[in-house]
């Protein structure tokens, strides 16, 4: 292990410290539209009505159930509306929220939530301050941009966008509107992931030479057999900007109490494969660890086998190689440095040599933004304080961009040179064309 009192660390750019205490600054709340009464005036534990952030949920599928429970637990927020193209999911979500709020507030019933079939109905409600977007990936950017332009703050599930051009537009819209967007990459709020990234960032593994990221397969073309469209759904609006696909219950089940996650994630038309679905988590951690939240790899080299679903190599300008590779431990990240290696996932955090993981940071080390394990509350606090959240729009966009470029590289099966600053491929018209797509006109 290198002497931590020297400057002999992994060379990184932008090694700013993002501790929670230093990150949250005093600021006027005028820009957020809130008039907050100090809690000490109201009494310990009391949340005044003006302090509550009214939330609308867009997309009431399986993911929304867990998200709703998280926000219901937080007394600084209140869910007042939801919307989905499925009448079954509208009813189930409304009942879920009513039941949980009634239980939490010791009341027989709670009638403070409305449901809608069109997401724009939520954006038109002046009493809604922010929205939670949990729709399939192909809807994320459109709904997020509409929400921002309707003066709403946004929490959007990962991957933040379906196409690179969407991410660029979304970043620009956040800048123009001044609203707060948090990406749902909640692993950044988990202690083990932050600890791993701090050890890497501060050079405890020596010079990082390689990163292995194991996530699922690239996206494929839609191939499910057609089934009758259920009467409970507006299927045209579910497909929305995507091609009008043949309905199949595995793509989009009518109810959330199924024993599988809907398979829209697998297909190019509506998702980015599990490469994007889990890559938005694991490539995100790799980016955070090496200080590349505003950048990304500059060269992508796919495997020579056109049928391969692993083996894509990515290179950063500083020479670090990142590989989409199964290293035998499930979805996770392995950092390899000159003085050791470190593995991290949702199920493990360990290192070689073993004692490396027990390293305590010293006072001179970089500390990464600590949300204290509260990813959802971090967004609400950022809204109230008018500060940037842990996983802001640029961070979410850059992590999604890696996943989207990875899909393009596997599809074209040729090396790609990417300019992270200008956000285009150099000398490759076919690749540049795939940064966006023509959305279907469906209304």
pLDDT in tens, 239-275: 999 999 999 999 999 999 999 999 999 999 999 999 9
Supply the pTM of this predicted model.
0.89
- Among 42-56, 169-183, 190-204, 356-370, whose mean pLDDT is lowest? 42-56
Cα–Cα distance, 319 to 422 (Å, whole number):
20
pLDDT, tens digit, 9 for 90 and up, residues 149-201? 999 999 999 999 999 999 999 999 999 999 999 999 999 999 999 999 999 99
Tracing tokens 């660890």 back to the chain, one arrives at: 289
Look at 103 and 297; give whichever has higher pLDDT.
297
112-122 mean pLDDT = 97
Q: How many CB atoms lie under 10 A from the CB of residue 35?
A: 10
Numbers of helices and strands, H then E, in the chain = 14, 15
Which pLDDT does position 22 carry in this prediction?
A: 34
Strands 299-301 and 340-344: unpaired
Res 372 pLDDT > 50: yes
Integer Cα distance of 406 and 302 in angstroms: 8
Q: Which tokens is 23 given?
A: 């990150």
Instruction: Give the tens place of pLDDT for each residue, 324-351.
Output: 999 999 999 999 999 999 999 999 999 9
Mean pLDDT of the chain: 90
CB atoms within 10 A of CB 61: 20
Is residue 27 predicted with pLDDT exceeding 60? no
Residues 6+ apart with CB under 8 A from 172: none
| Proportion of the chain above pLDDT 70, given as a percent | 89
- Determine which helix (DSSP H) or strand (DSSP E) holds 74, and give its type and residue range: none
Instruction: Tell me what pLDDT residue 50 has.
Output: 60
> Please, which pLDDT band fits residue 442 given cuts at 50, 70 and 90?
confident
Give tens-digit pLDDT for 235-247.
999 999 999 999 9
Q: Angle between the 164-177 and 137-149 helix axes, to the nearest 10 degrees?
A: 20
Per residue in 408-419, pLDDT (tens digit) is: 999 999 999 999
């Amino acid at each position: 292990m290198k002497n931590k009192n020297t400057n002999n660390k992994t060379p990184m750019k932008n090694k700013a410290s993002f501790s929670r205490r230093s990150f949250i600054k005093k600021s006027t709340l005028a820009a957020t539209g809130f008039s907050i009464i100090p809690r000490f005036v109201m009494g310990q534990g009391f949340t005044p009505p003006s302090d509550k952030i009214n939330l609308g949920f867009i997309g009431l599928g399986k993911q929304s159930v867990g998200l709703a429970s998280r926000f219901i637990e937080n007394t600084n927020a209140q869910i007042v509306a939801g919307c989905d193209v499925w009448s079954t999911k509208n009813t189930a979500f409304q009942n879920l929220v009513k039941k949980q709020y009634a239980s939490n507030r010791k009341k027989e019933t709670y009638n403070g939530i409305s449901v809608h079939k069109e997401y724009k109905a939520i954006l038109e409600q002046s009493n809604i301050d922010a929205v939670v977007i949990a729709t399939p990936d192909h809807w994320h950017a459109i709904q997020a941009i509409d929400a921002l332009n309707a003066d709403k703050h946004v929490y959007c599930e990962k991957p933040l966008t379906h196409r690179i051009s969407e991410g660029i537009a979304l970043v620009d819209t956040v800048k123009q509107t001044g609203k707060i967007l948090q990406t749902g990459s909640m692993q950044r709020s988990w202690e083990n992931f932050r600890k791993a990234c701090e050890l890497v960032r501060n050079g405890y593994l020596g010079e990082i030479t390689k990163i292995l990221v194991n996530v699922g397969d690239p996206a494929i073309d839609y191939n499910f057999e057609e089934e009758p469209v259920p009467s409970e759904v507006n299927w045209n609006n579910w497909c929305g900007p995507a091609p009008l696909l043949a309905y199949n219950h595995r793509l989009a089940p009518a109810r959330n109490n199924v024993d599988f996650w809907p398979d829209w994630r697998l297909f190019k038309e509506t998702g980015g494969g599990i490469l994007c679905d889990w890559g938005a988590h694991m490539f995100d951690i790799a980016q955070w660890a090496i200080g590349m939240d505003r950048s990304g790899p500059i060269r992508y080299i796919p495997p020579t086998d056109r049928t391969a679903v692993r083996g894509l190599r990515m290179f950063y300008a500083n020479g670090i190689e990142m590989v989409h590779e199964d290293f035998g431990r499930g979805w996770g990240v392995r950092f390899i440095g000159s003085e050791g290696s470190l593995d991290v996932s949702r199920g493990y955090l360990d290192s070689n040599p073993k004692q490396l993981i027990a390293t305590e940071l010293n006072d001179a080390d970089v500390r990464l933004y600590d949300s204290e394990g509260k990813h959802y509350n971090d967004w609400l606090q950022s809204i109230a304080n008018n500060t940037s959240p842990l996983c802001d729009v640029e961070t979410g966009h850059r992590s999604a961009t890696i996943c989207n470029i990875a899909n393009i590289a596997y599809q074209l099966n040729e090396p790609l040179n990417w300019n992270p600053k200008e956000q285009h491929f150099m000398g490759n018209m076919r690749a540049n064309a795939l940064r966006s797509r023509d959305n279907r006109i469906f209304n």
